[in-house]
Amino acid sequence: MEDMGGRCTIIEMTVESRNGVPVHTHANEEEHFIVLEGTLQLINGNESLTLSAGDSVTVKRGTPHTWANLSDALVRMLIIFTPGNMEETFRMIGASDGSDLAEIAETAKNGGSVMVGPPPFENVYSVMSPRPKS
Residue 101's alpha-carbon distances to 32, 63, 90, 108, in angstroms, are 26, 22, 15, 11
Which pLDDT score, from 0 to 100, does residue 74 have? 96
For the chain, give every domain's residue range: 9-116
Judge if pTM exceeds 0.95.
no
Residue 126's alpha-carbon distances to 9, 28, 32, 43, in angstroms, are 21, 23, 20, 15
Return the CATH class of domain 9-116.
mainly beta
Which pLDDT score, from 0 to 100, does residue 134 have? 55
Task: List, for the chain, all residue ranges whose pLDDT scores fall below the cut of 50.
Answer: 1
Which pLDDT score, from 0 to 100, does residue 1 have? 42
Which pLDDT score, from 0 to 100, does residue 110 have? 60
